Amino acid sequence: MTDHDLLQHVEKFLSRTSMAPTRFGREVMGEASLVARMRAGRSLSLANANKLLSWIDAYDAASKEAA
């Protein structure tokens, strides 16, 4: 997965959930500016990219259980 692919995955998640980018960044990494920095070209380490993807998967699973 490229940086662009990861950002597109995040953008789709934000659009689908209507979550603010700052909330997403705080929830995932404790960094409100995470998405803004990714949009500006920041690359995440493999460990942080995996953490981000795992967080999205867990959020989606919890949302399905609550529905």
Output the pLDDT for position 66.
Answer: 85
Pull the structure tokens for residue 61: 């699973």
Domain ranges (residues) in the chain: 3-66
Contacts of 28 (CB under 8 A, 6+ apart): 34, 51, 52, 55
List pLDDT tens digits, range 40-67: 999 999 999 999 999 999 999 999 888 7
Q: What is the reported pLDDT for 51? A: 97
CA diameter of the chain: 35
Give the model confidence (pLDDT) of 22-37 as tens digits. 999 999 999 999 999 9
Mean pLDDT for the stretch of residues 9-23: 98
